Structure 1
Amino acid sequence: MEQAASDIVFQSYGRCCNNEQFFVDFYDRFMGSSAEIRTLFAETDMTQQRHLLRNGIMQLVLHARGMPDTKLRALGESHSRKGYGIQPQWYSLWLQSLIDTIREHDPQFDPQIESSWREAIGPGIELIRNAY
């Protein structure tokens, strides 16, 4: 029996969360992807931000596993033009930074895990992006 993408992602994320450096490396990579993004985080408490990221990714994973989208809708609202003003095109940089960081931190990473991540959290990312 083939494992569901959301189960593969849940397990992969668990392996990544074993090391707090995962979240540090993600932000190093994400902020390195664009000067605009780096500027967004200039005055940010990164310890708190990494905590928010940990929770946000978990919300994407839980949504993929069937949880209601309430928290993702709230994230979309806070990241919209009325909130933090996160540009829709930045989400692809965010996702690529996440995938590259997972590749670095999940010792079991392979093409199936990558496609499972994209399949599982893609709809949740779109929900957040579309709130802009």
Structure 2
Amino acid sequence: MKFYRDLFEASLNRVIPENDKKSFFQTFYDAFKHMTPETELHFSRQPDEEGPQMMYKTFFAMLAVDGVLFVPDFLERLAREQSHDGLRLPPRFFALWREAMLNTVHLRDPECDDEILTAWAMAIAPGLEYLRRQAELHYRAQEV
């Protein structure tokens, strides 16, 4: 029997060490931003330093959504808020988020294999689905 939570947590500790919590999210944000011309346009509308910090905060909040149907207040506000303080991503971006995150894990974790990527996919799935669904309900395209 595989314990995917253990695989995920061990990988998480390798890619986000105590002494450098930011570089993983910078790499992830850069990958996410450049996934498609649409993501490039979307992220070009916000300051570069804002994106990785937002992804960092969102990532740890979404890990709390682990299938027990509990959503932290912070994540709920972030998902629903359509002002400068919210995540403000269109629903279709969440599949790209998943792909960019798994690609970043593959790049940054020297022990990465298919089982570790499966563990990551399982760990982030409930939170990403929550964010995607909230985007379906609340996302409004930004005025250019």
TM-score (norm 2): 0.74
* Identity in percent: 24
Matching of residues 54-73 of structure 1 within 5 Å: 54-64=56-66, 68-70=70-72, 71-73=74-76
Structure 2 CA distance for aligned equivalents of residues 106 and 79 of structure 1: 34
Structure 1: 4+ residue segments shifted above 6 A: none
In the alignment, is residue 53 of structure 1 matched against residue 55 of structure 2?
Answer: yes
Matching of residues 1-132 of structure 1 within 5 Å: 2-3=2-3, 5-18=4-17, 19=20, 20-64=22-66, 68-70=70-72, 71-78=74-81, 85-132=88-135
Structure 1 residue 58 displacement after superposition? 1.4
After superposition, give the CA deviation of every residue in 1:59-96 in whole Å (9 maximum; x if it has no partner).
2223338693123322321369xx66422111001110
Decide whether the 8 Å contact of 2:64 with 2:127 is kept in 1. no
Structure 1 CA distance for aligned equivalents of residues 35 and 117 of structure 2: 19
Question: Which one-letter code corresponds to 1:118 in the other structure?
Answer: A
Structure 2: gaps of 5 or more residues: 136-144
Structure 1 CA distance for aligned equivalents of residues 100 and 23 of structure 2: 14
Larger helix fraction of residues: 1
Structure 1 residue 27 displacement after superposition? 1.9
Structure 1 residue 111 displacement after superposition? 0.8
TM-score (norm 1): 0.80
Decide whether the 8 Å contact of 2:91 with 2:132 is kept in 1. yes
Q: Which has the higher contact order (CA 8 A, sep 6+)?
A: 1
Structure 1 CA distance for aligned equivalents of residues 54 and 68 of structure 2: 21
Number of residue pairs the alignment of both structures matches: 129
